[in-house]
Amino acid sequence: MSLEITFLGTGSAFPSPSRGASALVLRREGQCWLFDCGEGTQTQLMRSHLRAARITKIFITHLHGDHFFGLPGLLCTLSLQSSPDASRAPVDIYGPLGLRSFLWRSLELSHSELLFPIAVHELVPTRDQCPAEEFRDFSGLDRGEGLPRGPPGRVVHLDPGEDCYLLVEEEQLVVRAFRLFHRVPSFGFVLEEKPRPGKLDVQKLKDLG
The helix-helix angle for 71-80 and 99-109 (nearest 10°) equals 50
- Determine whether 66 is an active site residue: yes
List of residues 6+ apart from 8 with CB closer than 8 A: 20, 23, 24, 25, 41, 44, 45, 48
DSSP bridge partners of 23:
9
| Cα–Cα distance for residue pair 209/205, rounded to 1 Å | 6
Instruction: Note if the bond before 148 is cis, omega within 30 degrees.
Output: yes
Nearest of 107, 134, 137 to residue 122 by alpha carbon:
137
Which one of the listed residues 66, 128, 142, 201 is annotated catalytic?
66
Catalytic sites, residue numbers: 66
